[in-house]
Amino acid sequence: MIVEDPLIVEKINALLPDQIRVWGYALAQKSFHARKECDSRRYEYLLPTSTLMPELDWCKDDNKGSYRLPASTLQKFRDALQLFVGTHSFHNYTIRRNQHTHMSLKRYIKDITVSDPFLPMPLGDQWLSVKLYGQSFMLHQIRKMIAMAMLTIRTQTPLPVIAESLSHKALINIPKAPASGLLLDHPVFRWYNEKIDTQLRQPIDFDLYKDQMQTFKKTWIDQQIFETEAKEKDFSRSPVSFSFSSACSFAQMAQQEKINELVHAVAGVAHIQKPLYQQRLAIDKVKIEKAPVDTALSEANIKCSLESEKKRCQQGLVKAKDLLNGAQNQASSMEAKLQELEHANEKYEVDYRSLCKFREELAQLLDQALDGQKVESQALVKVDQTKEKLKEIEQDKEGLKQVRELVKVADDALLEAILDLRTSNKEGSLGAGQVYFPQEAFDALKKAREVYPRLPAIQRPVEFKDEADDTGAFYSPMQRYLWDVRRQLAKLLDWCDIQVLEIMDMDAQLHITLGEALDQYNVERRQLALTL
């Protein structure tokens, strides 16, 4: 309990160093909690007016002390700070958090006043005092507010950018003004004072000691700030916020912040590129493996559909149905495997689309930041070389794709010809030594050779006799000749598939290499953009 001694304050202060003072005391409620009962706070920020001077390359640090703030610039600075008054989201003015989900990022600023310029020392810097009154402030909030207002004035950036920085859409990396100019003037306990019984307890009112506090502040706090700035030049030496050799506009800050975010976004999902291409490769391999199964299924269906074979050989029909069931089971198994792989790859595909979008946006922003300047580096050389190799591979892959389609056309034409021979008298009308070969198949194979000259030659079929196949169905020598050509085409498709698989392996690896080289190149460009 505080002793009822009218000289208690003087006695306490006599035991304290000169830089620490007690102004008074008040008997509070037992449940009183200084932090919780405080409903608002008053801060002050002191800054030299030279921090608002325009960027002048020829101006030396030594000349800044002679700078005197024009009335128009002072008014613009006041107007800039007034934009913070009211309730706003200060997500850009503290440590980074999600501005869409954190209601705690909103703060209510009641008032901001800027003093007239004053000279603490006759020949020294001219200073301003900014007084801020608000419910509460977050970490770094005031220093970032002051820095934002300073930068808009110094770089002659339009004031609406401050309002934009308070919107949920804006994400900006705002630098901090030096901590040396900031001080807590005093907390305010208005709500507590209103609820207590003033007949039993005194309100907590700092205004009772206003004059004493002001004298103390000027002597021990303000003077220390002025002297420290004169020696240390904190407001001139800050490498990011207050370098007088380079301007910093809102647009540049927003652009740099976006570049930083995209660099981190790319780094966050770039790891999926390798498993994505490996999975894509596995899917393509299954599709290639499945193609002859689909062909076998088609042939089995055709053999079962021939009514003449049903009548001629019931046993052959049973065998054909067995072939059909086996082919259907194998095709179903391959389809299930394919779906399983594609399902597992869905997330990779989504992430990869995001990665491509991030890379595209990052490249555009870096092009803007560097004004189209090309940065020579090993990474860029690797990017260009890899793109050239991918172009060659893509042409090779496209050629093989056309060949496969043409071979399939020829194969379908041969199958139709076999069915046509079995249901018509065309074979009997052929002269001795003549071969029935569909023109469509011939044209398709000729075109395939033109598209891909490295295509292996088809071996000439041997003579055949009129004999039954594995189902018991009989085929004439001409029909069996065409069946053999189809088997040769199947080998040709196998060869194409082997080439495609090799190309796909190289394509996947080159895309992974390209992504890594591109990311490295953009990191190098980002470093250059930071120095501009």
Please spell the DSSP secondary structure of 347-368, one letter per residue: HHHHHHHHHHHHHHHHHHHHHH
Q: What is the pLDDT of residue 240?
A: 41
- Model confidence at 242, pLDDT cuts 50, 70, 90, reads very low
Please report whether residue 290 resides in a domain: yes
* Residue 306 pLDDT level (bands cut at 50, 70, 90): low
**pLDDT score at 243:** 32
pLDDT of residue 484: 84
Which pLDDT tens digit goes with each residue over 203-232?
999 999 999 999 999 999 999 999 888 888
CB contact set of 209 (below 8 Å; sequence gap of 6+): 23, 24
Q: In this structure, are 314 and 372 located in the same domain?
A: yes
Residue 49 near residue 68, CB atoms below 8 Å = yes
Same domain, 182 and 304: no
pLDDT of 159 higher than 80? yes
Asked whether the predicted pLDDT for residue 308 surpasses 70, the reply is no
* Span 112-122, pLDDT tens digits: 999 999 998 87
CB-CB contact of 397 with 500 (8 Å): yes
**Paired residues of 106 in beta bridges:** 89
Burial class (CB in 10 A: 0-12, 13-18, 19+), 360: exposed
Q: At 252, is the pLDDT very low, low, confident or very high (cuts 50, 70, 90)?
A: low
The span from the CA of 514 to the CA of 384, in Å, is 9
Q: Average pLDDT of 282-298? A: 75
Residue 246 pLDDT > 60: no
Largest CA distance in the chain: 138
Mean per-residue pLDDT, 356-372: 85
Q: How far apart are CA 407 and CA 412, in angstroms?
A: 9
Question: How many residues does the structure list for the chain?
Answer: 532
Do 297 and 221 sit in the same domain of this protein? no
- Domain match, 286 and 168 both: no
Q: Does residue 481 contact residue 466 with C-beta atoms inside 8 Å?
A: no
pLDDT higher than 70, residue 176: yes
> Is residue 270 located within the same domain as residue 231?
no
Q: At what angle do helices 477-531 and 314-369 cross, to 10 degrees?
A: 20
Asked if the structure places residue 447 within a domain, the reply is yes
Average of per-residue pLDDT across 414-438: 73
DSSP for 458-503 reads PPPP----SEE-TTS-EE-HHHHHHHHHHHHHHHHHHHHHHHHHHH
Residue 471 — very low, low, confident or very high, per pLDDT cuts 50/70/90? Answer: very low
Residue 122 in any domain: the answer is yes
pLDDT of residue 469: 53
What is the helix, strand, coil percentage profile of the chain, to 5?
65, 10, 30
Share of the chain above pLDDT 70, in %: 79
SS (HEC) of 423-455: CCCCHHHCCCCCCCCCHHHHHHHHHHHHHCCCC
Please report the pLDDT score of residue 239 as a whole number: 36
Type and span of the H or E element at 295: helix 273-305
Q: Tell me how far apart the alpha carbons of residues 385 and 381 are, in angstroms, rounded to a whole number.
A: 6
Inside any domain, residue 8: no
Q: How many CB atoms lie within 10 A of CB 491?
A: 12
Same domain, 174 and 271: no
Q: What is the total count of domains within the chain?
A: 2
230 and 304 housed in the same domain: no
Kindly tell me if the per-residue pLDDT of 93 is higher than 60: yes
Average pLDDT, the chain: 81
Residue 22 maps to a domain: no
| CA atoms of 253 and 350, how far apart (whole Å) | 30
Provide the residue range defining the domain that includes 97. 40-188+205-244
Q: In which band, very low, low, confident or very high, does the pLDDT at 86 lie, cut at 50, 70 and 90?
A: very high
Residue-level pLDDT at 20:
94
CB 468 within 8 A of CB 240: no
Whether residue 165 is found in the same domain as residue 312:
no
Same domain, yes or no, for 240 and 172?
Answer: yes
Same domain, yes or no: 316 and 231: no
76 within a domain of the structure (yes/no): yes
Q: Average of pLDDT values for 168-184?
A: 85
Domain presence at residue 10: no
Q: Residue 247 — very low, low, confident or very high, per pLDDT cuts 50/70/90?
A: very low
Residues 6 or more apart whose CB falls under 8 angstroms from that of 503 comprise: 393, 396, 397, 400
Residues 288 and 181 in one domain: no
Could you tell me if residue 394 is inside a domain?
Answer: yes
What's the CATH code of the domain at 105? 3.30.70.660
User: Residue 461 pLDDT more than 60?
Assistant: yes
Kindly state whether residues 64 and 164 are assigned to the same domain.
yes
366 pLDDT above the threshold of 60: yes
**pLDDT at position 116:** 96
Residue 28 pLDDT class (50, 70, 90 cuts): confident
- Going by pLDDT thresholds of 50, 70 and 90, the confidence category of residue 323 is low
pLDDT at 466 over 60: no
Q: Minimum mean pLDDT among 184-198, 221-235, 264-278: which range?
A: 264-278
Higher per-residue pLDDT: 455 or 75: 75
Does 43 count as an annotated binding residue?
yes
End-to-end distance of the chain based on CA atoms, in angstroms? Answer: 63
